[in-house]
Amino acid sequence: MTLLLVGLLVQWHGGGIAGTARWPAQQAVFLAWNSSFAAMPSTLWSAITLLGDAAVLMPVLALFVLGRPRVWAAMLASVPAGALLSTTVKHWAAVPRPPAVLGHTWFKLIGPALYNNSFPSGHAISAFAVAAAVLATCAARPRRGSDWLLITCGLLVATVIALSRVAVGAHWPLDIAAGAAIGWLSGLSGAALARYTGWWHWLFLGAGRQVAGAGLMLWGLLLWLRPHETLTCAAVLGAAGLCAMGGGLALLASGKRLRPLPLPTPLWRQ
């Protein structure tokens, strides 16, 4: 429905997707949001927007590998669809970013200025893909209060991460909406692949646990070595690296091969 609404808006205003950066209404909304978000410290927004990087966000949740490996498998399986859609649509739409249209003096810019391939927001795709993968795996049929609490928190965190792209001056509001929708579809595709296929059993439950563990250990090490701009960003990278290292170490230390879980019956066969 969100993507349909975006398409109708583009059709109504004309000028194609690239023309959305010139809409006075969108520019006004962007400037209003960016000005409102400026009340929070820039270092905080830098740390929040860093979580929109899938290479940082997924390791934060690496401890799911220990108790709920299917959750992390769902996140991992959502990467191909999200990356393909993000790259393809960005180059097809070729929407200029706010610094290329408004200049640097009209709004608060945090971090380096970006000029091209604004639509859709890749960070919004990553945030909502992870949220959808986790929620579709852990709370697909919410019944208890804890399920609804998880859904609320997941959507809230994903929304804040997505909105941080407006706060740092990197994306238009329409980029955020389209990215959230594409990310949601990508996350659901990953959850379906993890639910109805057993590709991840070998990697997280079988003999491949050592490979997965070594991969997570290396991932955590690379995060620790990654350059950072602020102390808050360093804290985020450090925490993400620690989670990845912890999950990887636990997989490496568990030499016992676990029995694969039975696959559920697909919905079309029920």
Read off the amino acid at residue 270.
Q
Angle between helices 69-77 and 173-196 in degrees, nearest 10 = 130
Give the pLDDT score at 7: 86
In this prediction, residue 261 carries a pLDDT of 44
pLDDT at 43: 94
Alpha-carbon distance of 18 to 165, in angstroms, equals 19
Q: 148-166: per-residue pLDDT in tens?
A: 999 999 999 999 999 999 9
Confidence of residue 256 (pLDDT cuts 50, 70, 90): low
Three-class SS state of 113: coil
Q: What is the pLDDT of residues 62-118, one digit of tens each?
A: 888 888 899 999 999 999 999 999 999 999 999 999 999 998 888 999 989 999 999
pLDDT at position 269? 44
Q: What distance lies between CA 226 and its chain's CA centroid?
A: 19
CB 81 within 8 A of CB 186: yes
Contact 166, 123 (CB under 8 A): no
Whole-prediction pTM: 0.91
**Nearest CA to 192 among 87, 62, 64, 81?**
81
Residue type, 264: P
User: Residue 163, SS3?
Assistant: helix
pLDDT in tens, 30-58: 999 999 999 999 999 999 999 999 999 99
Confidence of residue 225 (pLDDT cuts 50, 70, 90): very high
> Out of 88-97, 221-230, 251-260, which region has the weakest mean confidence (pLDDT)?
251-260
Q: For residue 143, report the phi and psi dihedrals to the nearest 5 degrees.
A: -130, -35
Q: What is the mean pLDDT of the chain?
A: 90
pLDDT value at residue 64: 84
